[in-house]
Structure 1
Amino acid sequence: MNKHTDPDQTLLKMPSLRAVKSFVAAARYQNFTRAAEALCVTQAAISRQVRELESFLGTPLFNRAGRAVELTRAGSIFFDAAQLSFINIAQAADRIRMDFSNLSRRSLTLCCSPAFSALWMSHRLPSFFSANPDIDLNLVTTQNFLSMEPGVDPDVFITKLSRVRSGYVSLPLFHDVIYPICTPAYLDAHPEISTLNGLRQAVLLNLSPYGRSQVAEHVDWGVWLAIHHLDHKNRSQDGFHYFNANDYNMLIQMVLNSQGVALGWDHLVKPLIEAGRLVRPVQEEVILEETRHYLSYREDKADDETVNLFREWFLAQCDIFPIN
């Protein structure tokens, strides 16, 4: 005997997806004719579908003024929700096509911080693509590795967490080495920053801990100077300003614009120093020997050729010999 299935009230309350699709196109282009062209249908079909949706919802979604249309308040509310839903569906479909299709191209999803992607990954990736032209890379950046959107399951994480989530194998990488950085021009204009006492009086561009609670430790100017037995708060009242931001990419750009001195994480800023764009005004540094960065890859893909190719390339970039 077949088990009776009760009506699904959520699905029954859903409007026609075809009607919603026509509505989203009309709202996006604010014109029924352009919406019809975008969906390869007639303008009459768009009008009919929008009328059907308005009838279903019991309220107008557009104010019509000649050929142009504009959203009503109800239309704006529905458009925000509908557009986001379609984006999520499209992205999920793309991920499924990439992960489960039988096409010859391969793909890999990598997750790391925005600073790591911009300052470490970006200028090294050409060598990976040159060696692996049949691999497409999907890069996801976040500061919140422990709470990501549902459905985002990266093949590889680069984090400072030895255990980013269950089901992943973690390989230790390098320690953090942290030292002051500025441009040659800024150092020429402020020669006093070549000493720690003089450095303390400079424009200090500081990486704020805000939004970085998942990092095991946070080194800002206060911590860095304290390790070298200096108090950053004991600055001259006539000294330069102190700037806080939790966007490291922004701080680096300010440094490159000769706007002050920031702390540089060696693995991120070393290429800029080697290129002569940045210098170390003092040679003092802090090495965090108790913590490391980690490459974590999905345990169920331990034998996946694409993951292994990326892992070996990445470790080689870090001058770490991969363990078979």
Structure 2
Amino acid sequence: MKQGDPAVLARLPSLRALFIFDAAARHLNLVRAAEELGLTQGALSRQIKQLEDHLGAELFVRLPRGLDLTEAGDILRNHCLLAFRELRDGVSMISGVRTRQSLRIAAARSYATRILSHRVSSFVNRHPWIDLIVDGHRYLVDLARNESDAAIRVGDGRWSDVTGEKIEDDPLFPIASPDLIGQAGTTDVVALAEKAPLLHYMERPYWEVWTQRSNVAIKGHHRNVRFSETVMMIEAAEAGQGIAIARRSLVREALAMGRLVQLSPIEADDGIGYYFCATPEALRRETVRKFREWIFSLSAEDPQSD
């Protein structure tokens, strides 16, 4: 039976029913979904029950404090997302007017803070019809469940749920502020380590990686400061509180603007980097493609430019 067969079309739910389902699936809360749609909670519940009866499948599991999607509901939710985007794009093409679209990017907090927050104007200036949402996080959002349109993750690129594209090579090297260098009267890492604290990122052995690569020995040093966030460590270095090992991408702008100085030409690769991640379905969307093009162009740009 062909897709355009009247018998097939007759079994399709109404567009209104699917919009109502989509709101409930996004919120997983009947009260908030009803408020968005301008319905009472009772009316919303009846609409969902009618849709479930029409499809012959339960779409939600009713929980004490909300809803959860069943397997059938999860399938319908994903197809609704794709269908609504296709409809929106088609209407936009016909009308000749580009409609506003939102784009949610889940980004590692370090990348969101040190790079995206300093550069996002260049993206929205190029694509003013896109409302960009940057969600800084310390967890991996589920792209297959459309928790975000795309993500920038930090790691080795091996994730089971998605294939990542490495944005750029991102070696490690020692940094310090010009003020600290001036006070110490040297840019030598070993000499500086005798006069200032070593700043560490708690989750990765940056100093060990770099000293092994450079064959620089820093012994008998007992002034260490450890940070749970990379950004905190880098900002402490900018404030002259010590010397740190950092990734090039996160300090590129600070180096260009003179807030930090690279202390050694020797760089180390620890196999970790920032990756652009998106599902194949997401990459078919223009908003995601535009962001991907932009993010890969950043490393080639002057960090002081817009």
TM-score interval (norm. to shorter):
0.5 to 0.7
Write out per-residue CA displacement over residues 97-128 of structure 1, whole angstroms, 9 at most, x where no aligned residue.
Answer: 9x958592111111121110011111111010
With over 3 angstroms needed to count, the CA separation of the structure-2 counterparts of 1:227 and 1:269, relative to structure 1, is same
* Residue of structure 1 in register with 2:227 after alignment: 245
Q: Contact 1:171 / 1:296 at 8 angstroms: preserved in 2?
A: yes
Tell me the TM-score normalized by structure 1. Answer: 0.58
Per the alignment, residue 124 of structure 1 pairs with: 119
Aligned partners of 2:216, 2:181: CA distance in 1, in Å? Answer: 21
Q: Render the CA deviation track for 1:152-173: whole Å, top value 9, x for unaligned.
A: 622212123424343x443232
Q: Which moved more, 1:182-191 or 1:147-156?
A: 147-156
Unaligned runs of 5+ in 1: 1-15, 22-80, 86-95, 210-217
> Aligned pair count?
216
Would the alpha carbon gap of residues 190 and 208 (structure 1) be closer, same or farther in structure 2, given more than 3 Å must change?
same
- State the distance in 2 between where 1:138 and 1:158 align: 13
- Contact 2:143–2:279, Cα closer than 8 Å, also in 1: no
Q: Which residue identity does 2:285 align to in structure 1?
A: D
TM superposition shift of 1:299: 1.0
Q: Which of these residues, 301, 306, 309, is aligned with residue 282 of structure 2?
A: 301
The yes-or-no answer on 1:190 pairing with 2:184 is yes
Give the conservation status (yes or no) of the 8 Å contact 2:157–2:163: no
State the match for 2:207 in structure 1.
221
CA–CA distance in structure 1, aligned partners of residues 212 and 282 of structure 2: 44
| Ranges in structure 2 where 5+ consecutive residues have no aligned partner | 1-29, 36-63, 67-79, 93-98, 302-306
Which secondary structure does the structure 1 equivalent of 2:269 belong to?
Answer: strand
Decide whether aligned partners of structure 1 residues 283 and 149 sit closer, same or farther in structure 2, where only a CA change above 3 A counts. Answer: closer
TM-aligned CA distance change 1:148 to 1:296, over 3 Å? closer
- Within 2, Cα distance between the matches of 1:150 and 1:293? 20
Matched with 1:316 is 297
> Do the aligned partners of 1:164 and 1:296 also contact (CA within 8 Å) in 2?
no
Q: In the aligned structure 1, how far is the partner of 2:107 from the partner of 2:157?
A: 14
Tell me the CA shift for residue 242 of structure 1. Answer: 0.8
Counterpart residue number, 1:172: 166
Structure 2 length as normaliser, TM-score?
Answer: 0.61
Matching of residue 235 in structure 1 with residue 230 in structure 2: no
Q: Distance in 1 between matches of 2:166 and 2:128?
A: 28
State whether residues 173 and 263 of structure 2, in contact with CA within 8 Å, keep that contact through their aligned partners in structure 1: no
Rg larger in 1 or in 2? 1
**What is the distance in 2 between the residues matched to 1:280 and 1:161?**
24
**1: CA distance, partners of 2:111 / 2:188:** 29
Q: Who is 2:14 aligned against?
A: none
Identity of aligned residues (%): 22
